[in-house]
Structure 1
């Protein structure tokens, strides 16, 4: 069992890589399968030292709510930015850099926050303070900075704290 875990440190990642390879290759021929298998087993082994150990998802129900919230935010934000681009002549967005103080300290939680922030159109993760106490974002359109910070923390940071801390 220990040997198997050493050879395949991330079985779900390996399976996903193999399936992804076969889909991209659009072939299940023996050569493609063997090449996909080599990649599926080799990549997780090569990157196993980069995996964060001891991180655990504590609230799966919050994960589901967060995923739905982010999907909705992506959809709505796309519409808002499209609308802003259409009305560009009459109303320019108020873009600016916003500093968000952070309570989240878990490295996996911060990585998830970076993914969420980058996936929602209109926000770009720019910099994380060295002590992880603050985050610098560039936001497409901000009317009131303090309202944005409160909303960002409530919508994204708080659920991630529930999940990882």
Structure 2
């Protein structure tokens, strides 16, 4: 606990988050002018420090190559899912088969589980509804799913496996 408190007192308690905050600010402002650079720096230093008690310990990423590859997979899946959902919605003759899909979780890292739930919810056509910590399971609602077992296996292979590489 003492080291966690000491870490939260450091100016760069969460350096990766600081970088994301600074870059996000500059992108939102669409400017690299000196005032925007100063504001980005101040926000990047202060926000993680102020929020350190809520953020928990800093995450140590074990494989940056996996992070980059995984980001590409997730972005691709979001694009493909948008097209698929648009086809379902725009075709009145198409009758989707909604399903509840339980996905057993092998990942135990809380940030990995939260990121998995976020990815599932961000991908059109699916929503993560419940994370059952006792049963190590996440319940996913799919807009159109003819084979729940295959969908669960796909989630495990495409998302959970890389997240385990990154977080564990």
Show the counterpart of 1:129.
132
Q: TM-score, normalised by structure 2?
A: 0.79
| 2:82 counterpart of 1:82 | no
Instruction: State the alpha-carbon separation in 1 of the partners of residues 73 and 52 from structure 2.
Output: 31
Equivalent pairs counted in the alignment come to 161
Please tell me whether the aligned partners of residues 52 and 108 of structure 1 are also in contact (alpha carbons under 8 angstroms): no
Q: Which residue of 1 aligns with 2:3?
A: none
**Aligned: 1:51 with 2:67:** no
Q: Which residue in 2 is equivalent to 1:9?
A: 13
Higher Cα radius of gyration:
1
Deviations along 1:17-74, one digit per CA (max 9) or x if unpaired, are 34544554567475x6665554333211111123342632222222222111111111
- Aligned partner of 2:109 among 87, 99, 106: 106
CA positional deviation for 1:101:
1.1
The two structures have a TM-score, normalised by structure 1, of: 0.81
2:118 equivalent to 1:115: yes
What is the correspondence of 1:118-157 to structure 2 with a 5 Å cutoff?
Answer: 118-131=121-134, 133-157=136-160
Gapped regions of structure 2 (runs ≥ 5): 1-5
